[in-house]
Structure 1
Amino acid sequence: MSFFQKGSLTEDKKPELGVKLAEKRELRLCSGRTERRAVRQGARLFGGLRRSPWTAALLAEAAAIAPPSIPHSTGGTRERGSPSPPAPQQPQPVRPAPPRAMAKEGVEKAEETEQMIEKEAGKEPAEGGGGGGSHRLGDAQEMRAVVLAGFGGLNKLRVTRKAMPEPQDGELKIRVKACGLNFIDLMVRQGNIDTPPKTPLVPGFECSGIVEALGDSVKGFEIGDRVMAFVNYSAWAEVVCTPVEFVYKIPEDMSFSEAAAFPMNFVTAYMMLFEVANLREGMSVLIHSAGGGVGQAVAQLCSTVPNVTVFGTASTFKHEAIKDSVTHLFDRNADYVQEVKRISAEGVDIVLDCLCGDNTGKGLSLLKPLGTYILYGSSNMVTGETKSFFSFAKSWWQVEKVNPIKLYEENKVIAGFSLLNLLFKQGRAGLIRGVVDKLIALYNQKKIKPVVDSLWALEEVKEAMQRIHDRGNIGKLILDVEKTPTPLMANDSTETSEAGEEEEDHEGDSENKERMPFIQ
Structure 2
Amino acid sequence: MRQIWITKFGPPEVLAVKQAPDPEPKPGEVRIRVEASGVNFADIVGRVGLYPDLPPIPVVPGYEVSGHIDAIGADVDTSWIGRDVLATTRFGGYADVICLPLQQIFARPPGMSALEAAALPVNYFTAWQLVVVMGGLKPGETVLVHSAGGGVGIAATQIAKHIGATVIGTASASKHAELRALGVDHLIDYRTEDFEVRARQITQGRGVELILDAIGGDSLKKGYRLLAPTGRLGMFGISSAVTQKQRRLIDMLAMLANTPWFQFNPMSLINANKGVFGVNVGHLWGETDRLRSWGEQLLDLWTQGVIKPKIAQSFKFDDAAAAHHFIQDRKNIGKVLLVP
Q: Distance in 1 between matches of 2:179 and 2:102?
A: 36
Which of 221, 235, 241 matches 1:381? Answer: 241
- Tell me the alpha carbon deviations over residues 109-165 of structure 1, each in whole angstroms, 9 at most, x when there is no partner: xxxxxxxxxxxxxxxxxxxxxxxxxxxxxxxxxx11111112222232111111211
Q: Kindly state the Cα deviation for residue 218 of structure 1 after the two structures are TM-superposed.
A: 2.3
Q: What do residues 212-231 of structure 1 show as CA deviations (whole Å, max 9, x unaligned)?
A: 11111224851001000011
> What is the aligned counterpart of 1:248 among 106, 119, 123?
106
From 392, 400, 403, the counterpart of 2:260: 400
Measured after TM superposition, the shift of residue 395 of structure 1 is 0.6
In structure 2, the partner of 1:409 is 271
SS in 2 for 1:304: helix
1:9-408 to 2 correspondences below 5 Å: 143-219=1-77, 222-306=80-164, 308-324=165-181, 325-333=183-191, 334-344=193-203, 345-401=205-261, 402-408=264-270
Cα distance in structure 2, aligned partners of 1:399 and 1:157: 31
Quick one: structure 1 residues 168 and 479, their matched pair in 2 at CA, closer, same or farther if it must change by over 3 Å? same
3-state SS of 2:163 partner: coil
C-alpha distance in structure 2 between counterparts of 1:385 and 1:342, whole Å: 35
Counterpart of 1:462 in 2: which secondary structure?
helix
Q: Is the 8 A contact 2:68 2:84 kept in 1?
A: yes
Unpaired stretches in structure 1, ≥5 consecutive residues: 1-142, 482-520
In structure 2, what residue type is equivalent to 1:392? M
Counterpart of 2:4 in structure 1: which amino acid? V
Question: d(CA) in 2 for partners of 1:220 and 1:318?
Answer: 46
Question: Is residue 460 of structure 1 aligned with residue 319 of structure 2?
Answer: yes
Say if 2:15 and 2:321, in contact at 8 Å, map to a contact too: yes
Measure the CA separation in 1 of the matches of 2:299 and 2:176: 28
Asked whether 1:445 is paired with 2:304, we answer yes
Q: Which residue of 2 aligns with 1:418?
A: 280
Cα distance in 1 for residues equivalent to 2:225 and 2:327? 29
Counterparts of 1:421 and 1:474 in 2: how far apart (Å)?
26
Q: Contact 2:121 / 2:295 at 8 angstroms: preserved in 1?
A: yes
Q: Kindly indicate which of the two structures has a greater share of residues assigned to strand.
A: 2
Residue identity in the other structure for 1:437: E
Cα distance, 1:195–1:206 mapped onto 2, change above 3 Å: closer
Q: Conserved in 1, the CA contact under 8 Å of 2:25 and 2:99? A: yes
Q: What TM-score, normalized by structure 1, do the two folds share?
A: 0.63
C-alpha distance in 2 between matches for 1:458 and 1:336 = 37
| 1:476 lines up with 2:338 in the alignment | no
In structure 2, C-alpha distance between the alignment counterparts of 1:404 and 1:222, rounded to whole Å: 49
**1:475-499 CA deviation, whole Å, 9 max, x = no partner?**
0011111xxxxxxxxxxxxxxxxxx
Distance 1:320 1:175 in 2: 37
Between the aligned partners of 1:220 and 1:365, the Cα distance in structure 2 is: 55
Q: Which deviates more from structure 2 when the two are superposed, residues 365-374 or residues 189-198? A: 189-198
SS in 1 for 2:162: coil
Judging changes above 3 Å, is the alpha-carbon distance between structure 1 residues 199 and 409 closer, same or farther for their aligned structure 2 residues? Answer: same
Runs of 4+ residues deviating >4 angstroms: none
CA–CA separation in structure 2 for the residues paired with 1:286 and 1:220: 46
For 1:162 and 1:461, locate their aligned partners in 2 and report how far apart those are by CA, in whole Å: 18
Distance 1:221 1:282, change over 3 A: farther
**How many angstroms apart in 1 are the aligned matches of 2:190 and 2:45?**
21
CA distance in 2, matches of 1:461, 1:400: 36
Distance 1:314 1:411 in 2: 29
CA distance in 2, matches of 1:418, 1:220: 34
Q: Deviations over 1:380-425 (max 9, x none)?
A: 10011111110000010011122321111011111000001112xx
> Which amino acid in 2 is paired with 1:187?
V
**Cα-to-partner distance string for 1:416-436 (whole Å, 9 max, x where unaligned):** 00001112xxx1121011011
The 2-side partners of 1:220 and 1:310 are apart by: 45
Is the 8 Å Cα contact of residues 30 and 72 (structure 2) preserved in structure 1?
A: yes
In 1, the alpha carbon distance for the partners of 2:137 and 2:195 equals: 22
Q: Distance in 1 between matches of 2:245 and 2:137?
A: 36
Offset of 1:176 from its aligned partner?
A: 0.3
Cα–Cα, structure 1 residues 221 and 266, in superposed 2: closer, same or farther, change >3 Å? farther
Q: Write the distance in 1 (CA, Å) between the matches of 2:135 and 2:245.
A: 34
Any idea what SS the aligned residue of 1:204 has?
coil
- Quick check: which has more Rg, 1 or 2? 1
Equivalent position SS for 2:20: strand
> 1:302, CA displacement in angstroms?
1.1
Cα distance in 2, alignment partners of residues 418 and 429 from structure 1: 15
Residue 163 of structure 1 aligns to a residue whose secondary structure is coil
Give a deviation string over 1:313-334, Cα, whole Å, max 9, x none: 0011111111131011001121
Flag the 1:437–1:271 CA change in 2: closer, same or farther, 3 A.
Answer: same
Count matched residues. 335
